[in-house]
Amino acid sequence: MKILDMPESVIKVFQRRKQITNKEISGVNEGCDWAIMTNGQKGLNVKYDAVYIKESPLTEEEQKIVETERKTREKYDLIEVCRPCSFNEVEERL
């Protein structure tokens, strides 16, 4: 599972795909790859867009990893797992 913090423009694209195809954007039997792009601007001027690439449900190996993680972890510390980062860190990762 990946928890995403994303702008509304990207969320809307994900929602439209779900409405049209009636498929989830992630899961064992459903899932897909996306490209997230910006307009090259920074700060308040940055705009994001999402483009669907292909279907990509979890492989058997990935499913085993998920099951192992579920069994070995008692709880998830979302603050630790999803440490917030600054806008500059996001830009560097992109």
* Residue-by-residue pLDDT tens, the chain, 94 positions: 455 677 888 888 888 988 998 887 776 677 888 888 889 998 889 898 888 899 888 888 888 887 888 787 766 666 666 667 777 887 787 7
Residue of 15, 19, 24, 39 whose CA lies nearest to 94:
39
22: left (phi over 0), alpha (psi -120 to 50) or beta: left
Three-state SS at 72: helix
pTM of the model: 0.55
Number of domains in the chain: 1
Strand partners, 35: 51
Q: Which pLDDT value is given to residue 1?
A: 46
Has residue 61 been placed in a domain? yes
Has residue 29 been placed in a domain? yes
**Range of 18's domain?**
8-93
